Structure 1
């Protein structure tokens, strides 16, 4: 594929998390000159639940089975076999997952993905410690203005730079999400938690804040990611202090009280934002730009995961980028094909999850009933499909 020497790069990917690295890996055989920029130097922490869904590994395996296989060698890592869901009334349900998945700290997982890019995408130039301050659309290219260093030019920019995407903020007509489509969360690491099991992730629902949940995820080496996520509109309406609420739940929730008596907290409770998918449809592309992952608001509203959709969207963005360069068409009309692909392959499921989350968020009795129903022989698979 011929590329233009008039600009520094054909494609500039902003953000070297799962979406950005997946995009770079998918472009490794395209012949295009690719730059992968990130404001951090890796390895770096990323505040998250640290759950790596099976569909994320499945998407990487479709690029190259060796990519997914190498990630199973990470340390620390905890292979997830099942999840325990605790309903508001205290009833519990254990769900077994078909696709292999694991939990691992994002500092470890994201560094491994970037290492795959270093190893397998020779034409990709990785620019760490390169924060994007601004960008400007010109007639025939995009001008990127880093906080430090010289400007960079490319024919296309792909925003994989998270919930507070600079690309989205600068180029989307309405960059801000409504609180009804935004979740906030906090997490901390613990060890020596009573009753916690390797291979089992745990979810705890409460009557007070049903539009969200508390989680306990093993991440290997006896450590656990423990957190609380909630709709931003609920946090604002009830003036919820998430950090204090998490610690209170760990001490008072009937299914958690006592389990943390001898636990040791490793570091502070820290917060993060999750832009939920499945809400009002808005563009995630335009003339000379595409958005992926959290920048495109692709977090699952029901379960709260987004690494799988980030990787999937990065791969779809790579296909669109290659098509734009091949056709020399970077117009909004042409990049809208990417929006259609995201809507078909990811958006429909997220919309279903969002509707179900909103429906259940005021009906704790219905969640209790679903957990009881799943104990009836033959009905558990139906409940698990509904949860996703």
Structure 2
């Protein structure tokens, strides 16, 4: 049965219904705190739950939460203290073996999503009156002139004036109210596993290893605290289909044979199985609105095409969705014209950079010499700073 975790019993109808309690959904709920609106947050899982991901929490995500409320950022660090590692450096290795280290000034950390997402949901419990419905998978959604009806797999339907889809790359909300065909040229797939015993990886350093054979992608080694490492490999889905690549086989082969990785993994032990996930890339034309619907995070295809991260875009889009939800509810206007400014705001804030990063990713994947030239240029401090700004 669904778990109703708010202080009051859930109403039959809400002003705003958020589907998906990951970073986008929880950020949206936090931003709607104190609005006076009846808000519900629904998720198919019961927390804490794992989410297959690289587990990197970029600095813009933490900045966005701090701008919303400094207390949220401080509490998040306290809640994740036992399950994270603060990052100071990224080491990048080119296909030809060149290496560049980038030292970050702004706070960032790695943390398993099992713990990070649970901490965000705890902030929603502490600071808002949001009705939280866990263990509540959604079967269907439908919009009418009067509102939106959401039918869980079990139990009565839920209704709202506005629906915010934050339910990930396989979003039920997006598929039913704002469908968009899969474009493998704007989609990546990846696999991830946890390891212990990885050598020569400082606790504050993340590694990115680019391969000559599979250029539109990379292998990563991210420390996530407590001697645990998130290790994975991902590449463009278009190339996976064309080359008939088995990502799990590639990951095993790279860890066993790559000159920079094999020595570090000789004594390593994998915990659990290798798991796969999809990454819908940003910078395209994917619609961000539908009938009485806003899409955020992975449901809105906001993954960074160059670096593969999406938690910062998820949180920022969740905050923008909350801002526009307040306006629509105040005006009682949920028409397409009233929702469109949200899409325009996301485009200004995120879309332009994502489009530039997609263009750079395609260019670098098709011009190996340019990758090596960029690594050579990055050895010069002034050029390295420019490249960091260009890549975000």
- TM bucket (normalised to shorter chain) is over 0.9
Structure 2 residue corresponding to 1:161, chosen from 158, 161, 167: 167
Q: Does 1:112 align with 2:119?
A: yes
Q: Are the counterparts in 1 of residues 65 and 73 from structure 2 also a CA contact under 8 Å? A: yes
Check conservation: 2:282, 2:301, Cα contact below 8 A. Answer: yes
Alignment partner, residue 91 of structure 1:
98
- Alignment partner, residue 153 of structure 2: 147
SS in 1 for 2:92: strand
In structure 2, distance between residues paired with 1:176 and 1:78: 38
1:20 alignment partner in structure 2: 25
Q: In the alignment, which of 109, 112, 135 is matched to residue 102 of structure 1?
A: 109
What CA deviation, in whole Å up to 9, does each residue of 1:261-299 have, x standing for no partner?
A: 1001111100000000012x1321133110000000000
Q: How does 1:193-272 map to 2 (within 5 A)?
A: 193-272=198-277
Aligned to 2:340: 336
Superposition deviation, residue 258 in structure 1 = 1.6
Is residue 2:277 matched to residue 1:276? no
1:134 equivalent in alignment to 2:140: yes
Q: Is the 8 A contact 1:286 1:336 kept in 2?
A: no
SS in 2 for 1:99: coil
Asked whether the equivalents of residues 193 and 232 of structure 2 are also in contact (C-alpha less than 8 Å), the reply is yes
Corresponding residue of 1:348: 352
Report the Cα distance in structure 2 between the residues aligned to 1:349 and 1:184, rounded to whole angstroms: 21
In 2, distance between residues paired with 1:204 and 1:230?
Answer: 12
Distance in 1 between residues matched to 2:149 and 2:354, nearest whole Å = 33
Q: 1:322 maps to which residue?
A: 326
Q: 2-side partners of 1:297 and 1:275: how far apart?
A: 5
| Secondary structure of residue in 2 paired with 1:98 | coil
- Residue 378 of structure 1: how far off its partner (Å): 2.5
Tell me if the contact between 2:180 and 2:286 (Cα under 8 Å) persists in the aligned partners.
Answer: no
Aligned pairs for 1:160-179 within 5 A? 160-172=166-178, 174-179=179-184
Cα offset, 1:383, TM superposition: 2.0
Q: What residue is the counterpart of 1:306 in the other structure?
A: 310
Q: Secondary structure at the match of 1:140?
A: coil
Decide which of 293, 296, 301 is 1:297's aligned counterpart.
301
User: Retained in 2: the 8 A contact 1:188–1:267?
Assistant: yes
Length-normalised TM-score, structure 2: 0.95
- RMSD after superposition: 1.2
- Partner deviation per Cα, 1:151-192 (whole Å, 9 max, x = no partner): 1111110000000100100011x4223000100000000011
* Paired residues of 2:177 and 2:291 also in contact (CA < 8 A): no
Query: Within 5 Å, which residues of 2 pair with 1:23-42?
Result: 23-42=28-47
CA distance in 2, matches of 1:316, 1:376: 38
